[in-house]
Amino acid sequence: MNTIPNIPKNERKRIVIVGGGFAGLKLARKLMKSHFQVVLFDKNNYHQFQPLFYQVATAGLEPSAISFPLRKIFQAQQHLHFRVATVDRIEPGTQEIFTNIGKIDYDYLVLAMGATTNYFGNKGIAEHAVPMKSLSEALQLRNTILTHFEKALSASQLEDRKTLMNIVVVGGGPTGVELAGAIAEMRNVILPKDYPELDFSQMEVSLLEAGPKVLNGYSEASSVKAEAYLEKLGVNVQTAAMVADYDGQAVTLKDGRTLNSRTVIWAAGVKANEIGGIPAEAYGRARRLIVDRQNRIKGVENIFAIGDLAYMETEKYPQAHPQVAQVALQQASLLHRNLKHMEDHKPLREFRYTDKGSLATVGRNLAVADLPFLHFQGFIAWVLWLFVHLMSIVGVKNRLFVFINWAWSYFTYDQSLRLLINPKEDEPVTEPKATPAEA
């Protein structure tokens, strides 16, 4: 395989970063003014703000509002090179990385590819359910929901119409809770105006959680309040409800019950993205890579893993850190310092996670907040959620667009992005596949 052209080898040590998510982007930006040459790979040419995927899926935000071109971030950076590529494998012995556009050697390699949907080996769910781990999948979900409402208008049988309208969200974590709440609000306020011929009292929004409560990992008060908020919006919340199978028409639970729906959204679990060349003993739970307190991968030299990919056990987190943005950002910041310490032959620092709290929104004026020393719910938590997420989006223009969309939706009780966009304009409305469409 040929070496990737136009990335000159110079006297600077080369750091290769795989993944432009929260962790990879944070590290690359920290290294822009360093004495390293930095090469960043990502399969997309943009950074995605994952916490707001559900708002794209429910027509609350346009995709461009929560994505930002990576090349714009790194303009005028002479020693930072970005390439759109997929990484196939690593050769730790020769310190080379092989991609679909060629190979490149490295002095230090940082893996920050994040996680993908985990179907836990269930082929039926993998084939028929709709995931939401990328911008293209969020758009696919929007297409699926709108297509099924268009089909419901033409359904002659009541049961067929209800099956097309019903939506089941599997997974009671923050993503599932926020998605179920947003869909319920669409059903209650927006969709009846778009589809006055349909009886939305027949539409059921269900949230299925295999555990004993929603928002597992949050405080008991926040979990109870979130479930109450969902029920207030008309969501059918079922805990201790483990999904056994889904055939595209009906969800079957372990206890034998079924729920009819053509739209099942899978938000029940994630697993780490994998890459060839990493030794088998380096993999931990959910295929995350076992790392030490400096994020060095077990069994290899000069290769690090940060963010959702990293599995680091500590006394406080014996089952590893949660797969949230704050962990990724803090690990990237520490690795930036440790890379400099390695060059200066200084002792490396250990990673210690500072939990800044957890937020989840359920709907308009409804949210829960678990801060380190304070738990509260309601309007204030909702405002805090808005502020934190708005300020976390990359790009001032994107923040402005998101704020305008949120303000418009809040004061008008409406959204203007309910667009059914097929891959080709001349194609009729057809049943979307469960696999991601091209964005």
Residue 41 to residue 244: CA distance in whole angstroms: 37
Residue 1 to residue 364: CA distance in whole angstroms: 54
**β-sheet with 80-84: strand ranges across:** 80-84, 37-42, 14-18, 108-111, 303-305
Residue 360 to residue 178: CA distance in whole angstroms: 7
> Is 127 an active-site residue?
no
Catalytic residue among 91, 127, 150, 178: 178
Is 273 within 8 Å of 115 (Cβ atoms)? yes
Catalytic positions: 178
